[in-house]
Homo-oligomer: A and B are copies of this chain.
Amino acid sequence: MIIIPTIAGFLGLFMVLIVARIALKSSPGTEKMQELSLWIQQGARTFLKREYMVVGIIVIIVFGGLSLAGKWQTAVSFVIGAVCSALAGYTAMSIATSLNGRTAEAAKKGLKPAFSISFSGGISTGLFVTSIGLLGLVFVFIVFKADPMIVSGYAMGASLVALFARAGGGIYTKGADMGADLVGKVEAGIPEDDPRNAGVIADNVGDNVGDIAGLGADLFESYVESIIATLAIGASLLIAPSLIDSSIWGNVASFVALKKPLFLPLYLASWGIIASIIGALSVKVLKSQEPQNALNSGVYIGAILMMIGSFFIIKKMEVSVGLFGAMVGGLFSGLVIGWVSEFYTSSKYKPTRTLAESAQTGPAVVIVNGLGLGMGSTLIPVLILAGATFLGFTLAGMYGVALAAFGMLSILGITLAVDSYGPVADNAGGIAEMAGLGEDVRKTTDKLDAVGNTTAAIGKGFAIGSAAFASLGLFAAYLITINALSTEPITLSLTDPKLMCGLLIGGMIPYLFASLLAGGVGRVAFGVIEEVRRQFKEIPGLMEGKAKPDPTKCVDIAAKGALKNMLIPGILVILIPVVGGFLLGPVVLAGILMGTLVVGLVLGIQTANSGAALDNAKKYIEEGNLGGKGSDAHKAAVVGDTVGDPLKDTIGPSINILIKLMAVISLVLAPLFVR
């Protein structure tokens, strides 16, 4: 039975091979472009290698700790998860950085060819992440005989890599971006992506590190965790088959024989990869349309196929349609959260337009309104998420909650493809600018980039929504696990002040974490600024365009700074559930997890949407509205954008990992806490 997900996984990898090969055959452009592309690729690879070295040390420490605690199987599973996630991030990033220059080159021929190549980068990321994720999971699942506590180690490994990718990558990308922007646009008065600015390559490296490797690792984690949460809860159902609700699972004999709650998510995930492949190919076929429409169509086709296929899978397995309902609820809520993000952050709609108008009253007003916009944008996603959770539970208990979370991530192959095409287009624009490719090409890449900004905003909304849902699934699995393992029943009642205190403390953690990251961005940006300033001063002829800057220095400063500044928040996040569980007990820890989730969800949505709206308000003005470039409104909007940058690209994405990592560590260590 395990053959189905294996085939689906390899099919996905095969598709990546074909799509990437075709795209890589296109012209890499002029020598200058190839050089720029190579710089970006090498910078990104250097950072990832450094990141993986630091992660490697922590992986070894955790491996040792788990082995000493007698959990060597979990430890092995943990290492496999970390390796798979790192591999996915590295591969996706390598393909994407090989396609940015080619996209710029194709832009000479027009919008469609450029779109086609940049979207090939998206497909590669989307399908590689899901396929490797599923294959690794299936491997662990077989080797360790479906023991959920061991398999959850796989998720923990993925989570650790994601932490570094998101928090480290987030500090890197925004430290470099803010540094390059502040010294270039503000001090030296030269445009964005100007080749004289030594920080620009680091900025472009950052886009790949943060938005491709980071986003990929983030959603890799959500994806495998949503499956593992269903597996863990499913395993608890299999412990006492006589207690199962046969109106949901059919007769007991086939329930046990087929291990339905374990195989259902694997079959659905397999179909999800196929649906994603078809969705992705349809974008390629539909490329005669506007890029945004083609992308939307791809997602919808994937979603509809997912619904149809899963309906038949559920019928075939002879389980309740309620399970179908739970999954579709999650799938639908993912789409809605994406739309809401788009509505709040795209300059096509009123919120961002009003925000742009308020920039006329100065930077302070646009920033306050930007923060307010993000806060207000939490309303619908939270209600939707709560609704899908409640629906899942009503239809199929805690298993339904986890299945709803999986539903949201089921067509990750196509949603991630759409989200991660943006950075390729963004980089193409940067290369076009730096290589001096002329107005027309730049216009085409700008157009692609604008679409990429919208999909990036949707992607960020989706990432936080799915992170919250995945960690809700893990949290449910944690609650079930501690109750199952404890000799006396554990009451998790709100009338217990231990739980109350846990909730209060948990609520503070995302704020503390965000504060540490914000400080890190500031320090890295300052380092980049000093280096760019030094180069302008010390390299003769640089300002006049007669000499070249040395971008590797900036790349180096950003990379070292990012890893240094993420260590304390990173270790903190790992230690809190460990210390909380051992010292304060599983009840306080449950409170901490839920408190972190409650605050992390709204803080994540707020930071993502505030930042994206401020970014797009600035772009809206740059398009010539409200006075256009150089106007007071534009100056105010630039300040707003710079405030929004670390919110949306460092704090927001890192919060996703925070809530998942704490939940998965708690789940893995739950057996040790209860004893």
The residues of A with any CB-CB pair to B shorter than 8 Å are 178, 182, 186, 358, 361-365, 367-369, 371-376, 378-379, 382-383, 385-387, 389-390, 393, 398, 401, 472, 476, 479-480, 483, 491-495, 497-501, 503-508, 511-512, 514-519, 521-522, 525-526, 529, 590-591, 594-595, 597-599, 601-602, 606, 639, 642-643, 646-647
Contact = CB atoms under 8 A, between A and B. Distances in A.
A48 to B, nearest CB: 26
B479 A385 contact: no
Shortest beta-carbon contacts, A-B, top 6 = A372-B518, A376-B515, A364-B642, A507-B598, A375-B515, A393-B497
Contacts of A364: 178, 182, 639, 642-643
Contact of A385 (B376, B382, B504, B519): B504
Contact of A379 (B386, B508, B643): B508
A525 B364 CA distance: 12
Given A382-B508, A511-B376, A500 B594 contact: yes
A173 to B, nearest CB: 14
A369 B472 contact: no
A639 B382 contact: no
What is the predominant secondary structure among interface residues of chain A facing chain B? Answer: helix
A590 B493 CA distance: 11
Given A376-B515, A639-B639, 14 more contacts: A361-B529, A364-B639, A368-B522, A369-B518, A376-B511, A378-B508, A386-B500, A389-B497, A494-B499, A494-B590, A500-B594, A503-B598, A508-B602, A598-B598
A529 B358 CA distance: 13
A369 B643 CA distance: 10
Nearest to A606: B511
Given A495-B479, A511-B376, A365 B601 contact: no
Contacts of A512: 375-376, 378-379
19 contacts: A182-B362, A182-B365, A358-B522, A361-B525, A361-B526, A369-B518, A372-B515, A372-B517, A375-B515, A382-B505, A386-B505, A390-B501, A398-B495, A398-B497, A491-B493, A494-B591, A494-B594, A507-B598, A507-B602
Contacts of A594: 494, 500, 503
Nearest to A512: B379
Contacts of A389: 497, 500-501, 504
Contacts of A601: 504, 507-508
Contacts of A503: 503, 594, 598
A522 B362 contact: no
A398 B498 CA distance: 12
Given A494-B479, A500-B389, A503-B598, A646 B363 contact: no
Contacts of A386: 500-501, 504-505
A128 to B, nearest CB: 32
Contacts of A514: 372, 375
B519 A390 contact: no
Contacts of A186: 362
B515 A365 contact: no
A367 B366 CA distance: 12
Instruction: Kindly name the residue among A361, A362, A497 whose own CB sees the greatest number of chain B CB atoms within 10 A.
Output: A497
A639 B361 CA distance: 12
A483 B494 CA distance: 12
A590 B503 CA distance: 13
Contacts of A525: 361, 365
Contact of A497 (B358, B401, B590): B401
A382 B497 contact: no
Contacts of A504: 382, 385-386, 389, 597-598, 601
Instruction: Kindly name the residue among A493, A526, A601 whose own CB sees the greatest number of chain B CB atoms within 10 A.
Output: A493
A512 B381 CA distance: 12
Contacts of A507: 382, 598-599, 601-602
Contacts of A522: 358, 365, 368-369, 372
A515 B373 contact: yes
A501 to B, nearest CB: 4
A534 to B, nearest CB: 16
Nearest to A383: B505
Given A363-B363, A378-B512, A512-B379, A369 B505 contact: no
